[in-house]
Amino acid sequence: LGSTCHDRVASFYCECPHGRTGLLCQLKDACISNPCQRGSNCDTNPVTGNHFCNCPQGYVGPSCDQDVDECSLGSNPCEHAGKCINTKGSFQCKCLQGYKGARCETDVNECLSNPCQNDATCLDQIGEFQCICMAGYEGKFCEIDTNECASRPCLNNGECID
């Protein structure tokens, strides 16, 4: 059959020509026809001559042609209630506001852009922020200078200076 026999101590090894396999090169190589899909590796069982495919992550089946739906395998692979979207050979996560990352694992720090004004303190929250204003300021961003004289706090015709 065109094989080469290699003598070893108390054994031998057959080097098979292209298209043949098995311990004695007695079988046709089932991987010759490239039956495996999606970049999987084909191996031939040296006893039966049948092929088997080693599938890459995200694919299953005898020829690795079936997509694994990672979104229905049990627990959601996306963190913080992100929405799992199945794709060919993988999945993607659609994150809720306030989260980012491949699996929505990172909390977005909304305070990084310094949204608070007038020396206010920014508190990062999930999907939003809160400004703690210094005395004399108000508004979502502490952008409004409070008119402390509006309530006329001075008595006996005293003049209020804001």
- The C-alpha atoms of residue 132 and residue 120 are separated, in whole angstroms, by 6
Domain assignment present for residue 97? The answer is yes
* Residues 77, 63 share a domain: no
Average pLDDT, the chain: 90
Residue range 121-144, pLDDT digits in tens: 999 998 899 999 999 999 999 999
* Residues 48, 97 share a domain: no
Mean pLDDT is lowest, of 77-81, 144-148, 152-156, for: 152-156
Can you give the pLDDT at residue 47? 77
Domain assignment present for residue 152? The answer is no
* Residues 60, 47 share a domain: yes
- The C-alpha atoms of residue 6 and residue 24 are separated, in whole angstroms, by 11
Residue range 69-95, pLDDT digits in tens: 999 988 899 999 999 999 999 999 999
Beta bridge pairs of residue 83:
94
Domain assignment present for residue 117? The answer is yes
* Residues 62, 24 share a domain: yes
Would residue 110 be called left, alpha or beta, if left means φ above 0 and alpha means ψ between -120 and 50 degrees? alpha
Q: Which domain holds residue 74?
A: 70-107
* pTM reported for the whole predicted model: 0.60
Residue range 53-63, pLDDT digits in tens: 999 989 999 88
Domain CATH for 122: 2.10.25.10
Can you give the pLDDT at residue 46? 74
